[in-house]
Structure 1
Amino acid sequence: MALYVLVFIILIFLALVEVLKRNTRVSFLTGSLLALMAGFRFSTGYDFESYKKFYESLDNINDVFNGTIDAESGYLLINFLFKSIGFNFYFFILFFSVLSMSLLSYFLYTHTKFPSMFLLYYYSRFFLVRDMGQIRSSLACIILLYAIPYIEKKKPIHFLIIVLTASLFHISALFFIIAYLFNGLFKKLSIQNILVLLSIAIMLGIIIQNPQLYLWAVPGRYISYFTNPNYTNGKWILNPILWMQLAIFAGGILCLRSKDRDEQKKYSLLLKIYFLASLILLAAGDLGTVGGRISTLFATLEVLIVPHLILNLTRNKLLNLILFFGFSFIIFFLIFIVGGTYTQYIPYQTVFWIK
């Protein structure tokens, strides 16, 4: 446990250095720290053994595409290339972690004022579960960030190319197409629209909890996600993540009114896409796994929204920093410790300890 708290403190220090020195290149050091932490782990985090089994099961190129391994072809192809060259699974994990964190760091470096601040929040909210666990979903979500500017610029071809690329690592990325359609359908989210959409999502959530009404339309490969108790034990409207996301969305809507026109347009788009995360959780009913995997594609935008909102909350910059660091720690504490996630990560083991 101490290691994860120590990393959090180091990230705060790096973020402060970045702000005080006005040097955004510090973010590459921040990203490197996270990449190495995820890349050098051994049997730590969700799905580590499953991914290791995938890697070891690849005997020839046909295994990448024949469907015998339950993973996307893009992910399996990179596995196969590394295995063919002679690299072991641990080197592959290091490469994959560096790739994911490099893409995230570069995006934040080019789209935010203080990227290390945003990486700190990413660590609190997503890093431990995704980049040290569900690595396919992590890379897909990070790739999808690059699609957001093309929604704003109304370039559907560029947008689709990025979404299709992300789907090579996690098929759920295709649901991100909804973001483009949603933005076109709702130029502006009024209070009336928000309430209607929430009502529709709740009604769908009720229907979803009665699988006999729609199971006939679900492909055989995915039926277990709708019938297996391990996947249908979601908390639905009692899900604390849902309420946290709705609170952040509401806060964003309120703060949006005080921004200039250009910022309003930019953050209005981010909030619209982020709102989809809550709508999907509601519409998924008790399908915790399905709702979570689709919702997380849109929830990633929280990394862009929360730091910006809190760091511009008052005119007192020092107070904003204190509030941001405090809020980030609360999120880290609630998700990693109170939520019980830490049980999958303690003790942290590294490849250097392999005998």
Structure 2
Amino acid sequence: MSKLMLNIYIYILIILVIVGILQYLLSLKKLVIIPVFLLTVVAGLRASNIGPDTINYVNDYNSILWGYGSYKHFELGYTWLEKIFSFFGAQVSVFLCFISLISLTIIASRYGKYTRYSVVAMLYYYVRFFLNRDMNQIRAALAAAILLFSIKYIGERRIIPTIGIILLASSIHSASLIALAVYPLYWIIWIKINSKKKILLIYLIAVFLLVPLSYAVAPYVETVFSGTEIGNTYITTSSGYVSDNGNGLLNPVILMQVIISVIGLSFVDIGEKRPYFKVLLSFYMLSTLILIFFNQYYVLAGRLSTMLATIEPLIVITVSEKITPKFISRASLIFLCILVFYLINISTGSIQNYYLPYSFMH
């Protein structure tokens, strides 16, 4: 049993790869139920020591359940959810399962709107985001999922529903307000400029200028946010997983996002046949620029940029399907998922330090 628990994330990866291959072969959209159910159970029933932030969510919920009220003072929408479940006496594992189920169901359904292979998209989501979000930052997971509903309205240039969705997401996690910048960015680059070469050139200039600029503004960022909740949590804290030593474009996640966004921009004409591909690129470009600008404080950078990066699987799948033969595209996507899983979750020590050994909530 201990050996199984020790390797649970590898087993999940294998299962999702198999289900992804089955969807390629059978073209059954309903297979996406399997990863949603599996990941919901794993995230919702985890023990409080799985993931650095989980204990905070468990303690805050139990504090409300036991009549003491919230001590973390999370956003209003999230706190209301806590109060509703605690009113009915639900245990914290039930609440965590609910949050995971809603987050993953929304993500899977939204992915299904933009690709035929939603299981492969969920496989990519698993290797790229699942551990740090659904197994740790559950407010960010739900808020980022809600933001996916805004893609359609941004593409249709309907600002009122766009703002409404973003405000709803911000009631779960305030960092999702960063998505307000996607609408004007989309309008500027795709409506006003609307030249692939110009946009690509401007984007590359911005990428390379933001690297030295991030070093220059770092002391001022710390000064501005010093003493605030944001500063204490994401900038000036001495916690072991918060650092002010960025690596610029040498940071593997930043480098990966730059490469993906540049490739996406290079093949935007191909992607135009997919609905709202330019909106997806707008989300991702802004996510990448934020990650670079705040890279000296990678927790702050990560919390902001992750809100906009959920669409990464859709960009990767779309471009891969269009520029390579079918078999090569499918095989390369599976291989890429395995590689990303190793680079982000294993080689960094993330799984070993924060998510193992896996155990269930008592």
Same fold (TM over 0.5): yes
Q: Following superposition of structure 1 onto structure 2, how do residues 73-92 of structure 1 map, counting pairs within 5 Å?
A: 73-92=76-95
Amino acid at match of 1:56: N
Q: Give me the whole-angstrom Cα distance separating, in 1, the residues matched to 2:65 and 2:86.
A: 9
Contact 1:209 / 1:285 at 8 angstroms: preserved in 2?
Answer: no
Partner of residue 292 from structure 2, selected from 270, 282, 288: 282
1:337 is displaced (CA, Å) by 0.3
- Any idea what SS the aligned residue of 1:300 has? helix
Post-superposition shift, 1:154?
0.4
- Alignment of 1:322 with 2:331, yes or no, is yes
| Counterpart in the other structure of 1:104 | 107
Cα distance in structure 1, aligned partners of 2:344 and 2:155: 32
- Change in Cα spacing, 1:22 to 1:91, as seen in structure 2 (3 Å) is same
Q: Say whether the 8 Å CA contact 1:201–1:280 is kept in structure 2.
A: no
CA contact under 8 A between 1:236 and 1:282: conserved in structure 2? no
- Tell me, yes or no, if structure 1 residue 11 matches structure 2 residue 16: yes
Q: Does the CA contact (< 8 Å) of 2:225 and 2:231 recur in 1? A: no
The residue identity in structure 2 corresponding to 1:346 is L
Counterpart CA distance in 2 for 1:216 and 1:4 is 40
CA gap of 1:98–1:203, structure 2 versus 1, over 3 A, is same
Matched, 1:235 2:246: yes
Q: Quick one: which amino acid aligns to residue 47 of structure 1? A: D
- In structure 2, how many angstroms separate the alpha carbons of the residues matched to 1:332 and 1:29? 19
Contact persistence 2:235–2:244 (CA under 8 A): no
Distance 1:179 1:200 in 2: 20
Q: What letter matches 1:140 in structure 2? A: A
Question: Which SS does the other structure have where 1:297 is aligned?
Answer: coil
Measured in 2, the distance between the counterparts of 1:23 and 1:59 equals 41
Distance 1:145 1:219, change over 3 A: farther
Residue of structure 1 aligned with 2:347, choices 338, 341, 344: 338
Deviation, structure 1 residue 324: 0.7
8 Å Cα contact 2:53-2:137 kept in structure 1:
yes
Distance 2:10 2:66 in 1: 42
Deviation at 1:234, TM superposition (A): 4.0
Number of the residue aligned with 2:3: none
1:245 and 2:257 correspond: yes
CA contact (8 A) 2:60 2:72 kept: yes
- The 2-side partners of 1:313 and 1:2 are apart by 35
**Following the alignment from structure 1 to structure 2, what is the Cα–Cα distance between the partners of residues 147 and 234?**
34
Match of 2:223 in 1: 215
- 8 Å CA contact retained: 1:35, 1:98: yes
Q: Which moved more, 1:218-227 or 1:182-191?
A: 218-227
Aligned to 1:132, the other structure's residue is in SS state coil
- Range with bigger deviation, 39-48 or 200-209: 200-209
Query: In 1, are the aligned partners of 2:65 and 2:89 still within 8 Å (CA)?
Result: no
TM-score for both structures, normalised by structure 1 = 0.90
Give me the whole-angstrom Cα distance separating, in 1, the residues matched to 2:243 and 2:90.
38
Aligned-pair CA distance for 1:214: 7.6
Residues 1-355 of structure 1: pairs in structure 2 closer than 5 A:
1-43=6-48, 44-58=50-64, 63=69, 68-187=71-190, 188=194, 190=198, 191-211=200-220, 215-216=223-224, 220-224=228-232, 225-230=234-239, 231-237=242-248, 238-257=250-269, 259=270, 261-263=272-274, 266-315=276-325, 317-343=326-352, 344-351=354-361, 354=362
1:282-313 per-position Cα deviation (integer Å, ceiling 9, x unaligned)? 21141212111111112222121112222333
The letter of the residue matching 2:253 is I
- Cα deviation per residue 1:8-50 (whole Å; 9 max; x = unaligned)? 1111111122222221111122211111121121232231211
Paired letter, 2:319: L
CA RMSD of aligned residues (A): 2.3
Change (3 A) 1:41 1:179: same
C-alpha distance 83-301 of structure 1, shift in aligned 2 (>3 A): same
8 Å CA contact 1:147–1:159 kept in 2: the answer is yes
In structure 1, the gaps of 5 or more residues are: none
Percent of aligned pairs sharing the same letter: 27
SS at match of 1:86: coil
Distance in 1 (alpha carbons) for counterparts of 2:302 and 2:347: 18
Query: TM-score when scaled to structure 2?
Result: 0.88
Query: Runs (4+) of structure 1 moved beyond 3 Å?
Result: 59-64, 216-219, 225-232, 260-263
Higher alpha-carbon deviation: 21-30 or 118-127: 21-30
Q: Distance in 2 between matches of 1:146 and 1:88?
A: 30
Offset, 1:219: 7.2
Q: CA-to-partner distance for each residue in 1:152-171, whole Å, 9 max, x for gaps? A: 00011100111011111110
Q: Is the 8 A contact 1:121 1:307 kept in 2?
A: no
